[in-house]
Amino acid sequence: MLKILKVSGDSMEPTLSNEDVVFIARKKNFYENDIVVVNDKVHGLIIKRLKKIYENEIQLVSDNTKTKSITCERTYNLSDIIGKYFFRISSNNFLCKLFQS
The pLDDT tens digits for 41-86 are: 999 999 999 999 998 999 999 999 998 888 989 999 999 999 999 9
* All residues at 6 or more sequence positions from 72 whose CB lies less than 8 Å from its CB, including other chains: 48, 51, 59, 60, 61, 62
Domains of the chain: 2-94 (2.10.109.10)
**Of 61, 60, 64, 59, which is closest to residue 18 (Cα–Cα)?**
64
pLDDT of 99 reads 59
Strand partners, 59: 52, 75
Would you put residue 54 in left (φ > 0), alpha (ψ -120 to 50) or beta? beta
pTM of the model: 0.87
* Cα 89–Cα 64–Cα 27 angle in degrees, nearest 5: 55
